[in-house]
Chain A
Amino acid sequence: MILAVASGKGGTGKTTVSASLLSVWGKPVVGVDLDVEEPNLHLFVRPEIAGREKAFMEIPVADETKCTYCRQCSDLCQFKAISVLGEVLLTFPEMCHGCGGCISICPEGALSAGSRELGEISWGRAGKAGFLMGRLRVGEAMSPPLMRAVKEKLRGMTSHGAMDVIIDAPPGVSCPAINAVMDSDVILLVTEPTPFGLFDLKLARQAFTPLNKPMGVVVNRAGVGTSDVYDYCKGSGLAVIAEIPYDRSIAEAYARGSIIAETSSGFRDMFIEMAHKVRSMNGGSHGREEV
């Protein structure tokens, strides 16, 4: 099964939950950090990195000697990545989404495939778990293309035998978050019982409901704020599958880089139970369509 740990609001504890679940999972599992803008899972699971590679995306490279300035490429491009000004052909590689349209439509063969570096993919092992992450190049605006490259790598890692996957997703509810959770079997929404946590949980539920996947809620810092998050979950049929109590010692352990499930047997048991509940949410669906 593939579990995506997502949130809406940032800083609610996605990485805390992902790292702890990986630590207690008890079955073959790969932890994948798909928060490629700000990947943090490695800071807690401290993997031994076995390999790394750069990821690239196709962009057009122009040969102006062949260009007849017919403008078919610039008329097609939806992202203002290529333009013809009089008798000058300009490309803006950082705007390109890599659709390949300009290259296929050019009647003169004046455009060919070049590449733009998206970032780096690295992989290895963290204890018994496999580990995979993407790290966006600073200055690169688009995270979904790198996320797709990480998922491609994941397909290779999980192709031999049964292997579960735990995805640490980016915050928010727009395209990067959707990209991270769209191929999962179960979605965990980590929230906190505050007005900000509740508002963003509502957005996350709205964004992810069309994906038709079982969703459960983990309330982190339980005890701060109000009971509104619980009332909302009850009223909208979202199951609260676990609560992590607010405790300054947890915040301090996190600040030292500890995995919460490894700080006491009580927390370990709590995450083991969370893992059981997640598996039972995946009831019925055995294989999976695609990663």
Chain B
Amino acid sequence: MDARRFELVEIVVLSGKGGTGKTSLTAAFAHLSSNRVICDLDVDAPDLHLVLRPEKTKTEEFYSGHEARISAEKCNACGQCMEVCRFGAISEGIPCPTVNPLRCEGCKVCVELCPVRAIDFPEKHCGQWYVSKTRFGWMVHAQLFPGEENSGRLVALLRQKAKELAKKEGFDLILSDGSPGIGCPVISSLSGASLAVIVTEPTPSGHHDLERVTELCEHFRIPAGVIINKFDLNEDKTEQIESMCVKKGLHLLGRLPHDMAVTHAMVAGQTITEYQKHGISELVRQAWSNIEAAAMIRVA
């Protein structure tokens, strides 16, 4: 199989809806695969490290964008900044207007249009990123400081670092855990990926959100496959989802039952495939070989 890989394969695990089991499955896939770099692209609420327990070998600061700060000494309180700000980030204050950092978009318009140049524009320190060792090999991950802008730039940076590391090690696979949603960080993790693995559940929300995230994959022309987790919660819905997948030409990668062993494994700090050999773990192994086959189609 490896002989057919002649380019770097990047598999991104997504879901649309949160809490469908992305991270538990990514951790298991990290256990089942070899010669790959593991990457947590959910820089906002990352959880993969809780199972993989990485030891950081490198920590780097992440700066992105700027924010406006009004200098009370220079400001003449003319109020023009309040008028030009489109984000409602500047409000009246004493002795001069103040910027609400949570609303400031970092657009610099107030800085440029201030007649007395009283607004500073320092760079924002938004988080940290790490290269780490895990029991399954290299992992690249990050933590955005809570409340910061969820930067697609940080996601793009992690992917770049993972690619460099894979190249250096002679690996041909990057396995990434993505974020929920369909916005900026998801778009940033998806563009140019080899395969999106979408983990869903047979609920109205799971189905609805799956449709939107597959539409996003179509929009960016990324091949996608679907795993239905907790399929036994509603088997009619599972069948509806599967027929939608067939209609849309998505890979059916597997069905997994609702099994408390997955939570027990998480509590034990293990992947489900480490925690038990049989039962759901056999189905997870089957899903992983389906993913490998689907990703190879793209390469071959």
Which residues of A have CB within 8 Å of B102? Answer: 178, 182, 210-211
Q: Are A15's CB and B205's CB within 8 A?
A: yes
Q: Considering the complex, which residues of chain A in the window 11-26 have a beta carbon less than 8 Å from any beta carbon of chain B?
A: 11-12, 15
B16 at the binding interface (Cβ < 8 Å): yes
Partner of B237, one of A139, A174, A225, A255: A255
Which residues of A have CB within 8 Å of B266? Answer: 194-196, 225
A134 at the binding interface (Cβ < 8 Å): no
B116 at the binding interface (Cβ < 8 Å): no
Which residues of A have CB within 8 Å of B204? Answer: 40, 43-44, 255, 257
Q: Considering the complex, which residues of chain B in the window 260-276 have a beta carbon less than 8 Å from any beta carbon of chain A?
A: 260, 263, 266-267, 269
Size of interface on A: residues with Cβ below 8 Å to B:
60
Q: Are B44's CB and A172's CB within 8 A?
A: yes
Q: Are B183's CB and A226's CB within 8 A?
A: no
A38 to B87, CA, bound (A): 24
A171 to B144, CA, bound (A): 15
Closest Cβ of chain B to A201, distance in Å, is 10
B137 at the binding interface (Cβ < 8 Å): no
Partner of A171, one of B109, B180, B184: B180
Which residues of B have CB within 8 Å of A196? Answer: 23, 47, 50, 266
Q: Are B146's CB and A207's CB within 8 A?
A: yes
Select the stretch in B5-13, B55-63, B208-216, B243-251 that faces chain A. Answer: B208-216
Q: Are B183's CB and A97's CB within 8 A?
A: no
Q: Are B66's CB and A78's CB within 8 A?
A: yes
Which residues of B have CB within 8 Å of A204? Answer: 146
Which residues of A have CB within 8 Å of B182? Answer: 37-38, 136, 138
> A37-B182, A76-B112 are contacts. A138–B215 as well, Cβ < 8 Å?
yes
> A15-B205, A174-B144, A210-B147 are contacts. A225–B263 as well, Cβ < 8 Å?
yes
B31 at the binding interface (Cβ < 8 Å): no
Q: Are B146's CB and A101's CB within 8 A?
A: no
Closest Cβ of chain B to A126, distance in Å, is 15
A206 at the binding interface (Cβ < 8 Å): yes
A90 at the binding interface (Cβ < 8 Å): no
Select the stretch in A155-163, A237-245, A246-254, A273-281 that faces chain B. Answer: A246-254
A141 at the binding interface (Cβ < 8 Å): yes
A47 at the binding interface (Cβ < 8 Å): no
Closest Cβ of chain A to B80, distance in Å, is 11
Residue in B50, B107, B144 with the greatest tally of chain A CB atoms within 10 Å: B107
Q: Are B50's CB and A173's CB within 8 A?
A: no
Q: A99-B87, A99-B109 are known contacts; what are 17 more A-B pairs with Cβ within 8 Å?
A: A10-B17, A10-B18, A11-B17, A40-B204, A99-B86, A100-B109, A170-B181, A171-B19, A171-B180, A174-B146, A174-B149, A196-B47, A199-B45, A207-B147, A225-B266, A252-B234, A257-B203
CB<8 Å pairs between A and B, sample of 14? A7-B18, A9-B19, A10-B17, A10-B180, A78-B65, A78-B106, A99-B107, A143-B181, A172-B44, A172-B179, A178-B147, A196-B47, A255-B204, A255-B237
Contact residues of B with A, CB < 8 Å?
15-20, 23, 44-45, 47, 50, 65-66, 84, 86-87, 102-103, 105-109, 112-113, 144, 146-150, 152, 179-184, 186-187, 201-205, 208-209, 212, 215-216, 219, 230, 233-234, 237, 258, 260, 263, 266-267, 269
